[in-house]
Amino acid sequence: MGAPATKLAVAGTMILETRGLMKTYGGVAALQGVDFALKTGELHCIIGPNGAGKSTFFKLLMGIERPSAGQIVFKGRDITRLQAHERARLGITVKFQSMRVYQDLPVYHNLFIPLRRHHRAREIPAVVERLLADVHLSGTGEEYVRNLSHGQQQWLAIAMAVAAEPEVLLLDEPTAGMSAEETTATARIVKRLNGQGTSIIVIEHDMAFIRDLDSMTSVLHYGALFAQGAFKDIEASVEVQRIYLGTL
């Protein structure tokens, strides 16, 4: 319910944890001491109003930015000081809020780059085929990304994150700019990935999408974890509704 962030569960079942994670920009606290834990194989949504620190949280988890204080632990190992590429090698990857696809490369090679870390070059065409089919982009392999529609690029961005074959996948607004059907399809993909064992954190604004995922949900507010619980409880919480209506 509307309780403050729950206490950390026993380590070992947790794949990713943060302890007292803090980030300030020029004196402004974007995150103020977030204790968060992701269970192995868990699907977890993070919601919160604009400027609550959600994207900052992902940047810190990924290693794009350094925390001002606090710790990030992946599978019991302190990764706070690791570079982004080192974290990626351990099995964490992200889909950024802005899509960050390779505009000047064909779709095929957008997937080739993440896939090449785990696959031999000659296996890749088959994997690409499968990934593209998953995100309804079959047959676009030769297309240059700049010729794709916005929605298609969003799909591709998701497929690229999946292609990195991470253990922990951070999805920052995967459905931004998508139609209702596309959103539903994305939810299917996320749930399937999770079913296959990937631990996933999703940042979203789209409540329908989160309802679809029906997972553990945390609310980030003013850079702190405000509430945590099953989505239906969170949705019912008066305080959370107040945050979104801005009357706190």
Partner 1 sequence: MANAATRLDRWLGPLNGPQTMGRGVPFWLCFIAAVVVLAIAPNFLSRYDIINFSNFLISGLLALSLGLIWGYCGILSLGQASFFGLGGYAYGVVAMNLLRAHGNTDVAFVAGILIPVAFAAVIGAILFYARLRGVYVAILMLVISLVIGTFLRQTADPSYTIGAAYLGGMNGLRPTSPDDPLLPSLIFGFGDWVAEFDGRSVSFYHLVLAIVVAVYLGLRCVVNSTYGFLLVGVREEPERTETFGYDVRLIQLSVFCLAAAIAGLSGVLYTAWGTYIHPDGFGVAQNILVVIWVAVGGRKDLLAALLGALVLNWISLRLASEGEFALLVMGAILVGVMLLAPEGLAIAIGNRLGRLFGHGAKVGQPAVRTEEG
Partner 2 sequence: MDTFALIFGYAYQYFDNVGFLVLSASGLIIIFGMMGVINMAHGELMMIGAYITAFSYYAGVPAPIAVIFAGVGAGLVGMVLERLVIRYFYKQLLSSLVVTWGLSLMFSQGFLLIFGPSILNLPTPFGGFPISEQTFGSYRLVLFGCALALVAGIWALFTFTRFGTQARATMEDPAMADALGINTRQVYSLTFGLGCALGGIAGGLFAMTATISPFFGVNYTPLAFITVVIGGGANAITGLIASALALAGVQTVVVNAFNQYVGYISMMAAAFLILLALPRGISDYLERRKLRAVRASRPSPHG
Q: Which residues bind partner 2 (CB under 8 A)?
A: 26-29, 222
State which residue, 111 or 243, has the beta carbon closest to partner 1. Answer: 111
Question: Binds 125, which of partner 2, partner 1, none (CB < 5 to 8 A, cut-off by type)?
Answer: none
Taken as a whole, the chain contains a residue count of: 248
Q: Which of 246, 239, 247 shows the shortest CA–CA distance to 51? A: 246
Interacting partner of 113 out of partner 1, partner 2, none (Cβ under 5 to 8 A depending on kind): partner 1
What φ, ψ does residue 70 adopt, rounded to 5°?
105, 180
114 binds, among partner 2, partner 1, none (CB under 5 to 8 A by kind): partner 1
- The residues, ordered by sequence, that sit 6+ positions from 206 with a Cβ below 8 Å of its Cβ are 175, 183
Which spans of this chain sit near partner 1 (rule: CB under 8 A)?
62, 64, 83-85, 88-89, 93-94, 96, 100-106, 109, 112-114, 116-117, 121, 144, 146, 160, 164
Tokens of 40: 């192995």
**Number of neighbours of residue 132 by Cβ within 10 angstroms:** 20
Give the shortest CB-73-to-partner 2 separation in angstroms: 27
Distance between CA 140 and CA 155 in Å, rounded?
A: 12
- Whose Cβ is closer to partner 1: residue 171's or residue 240's? 171
The binder of 27, among partner 2, partner 1, none, by C-beta within 5 to 8 A per type, is: partner 2
Which strands form 14-25's sheet, in the order they lie side by side?
A: 28-39, 14-25, 69-74, 77-78
Find which of partner 2, partner 1, none residue 28 binds, CB within 5 to 8 Å per kind: partner 2
Which partner, partner 1, partner 2, none, binds residue 222 by CB below 5 to 8 Å per kind? partner 2
- What is the distance between the alpha carbons of residues 31 and 53, in angstroms, rounded to a whole number? 6
CB of 119 to partner 2, least distance (A): 34
Least separation in angstroms between residue 193's CB and partner 2 is 36
- State the minimum distance, in angstroms, from the CB of residue 116 to partner 1: 5
In terms of DSSP bridges, do strands 69-74 and 77-78 run parallel, antiparallel, or are they unpaired?
antiparallel
Least Cα distance to 107 among 78, 129, 85 occurs for 129
User: 173, 221, 217, 234: which is closest to 44 by C-alpha?
Assistant: 217
Nearer to partner 1, 78 or 86 (CB): 86
Q: In angstroms, give the least distance from the CB of 169 to partner 1.
A: 11
Whichever of 12 and 27 has its CB closer to partner 2, that residue is: 27
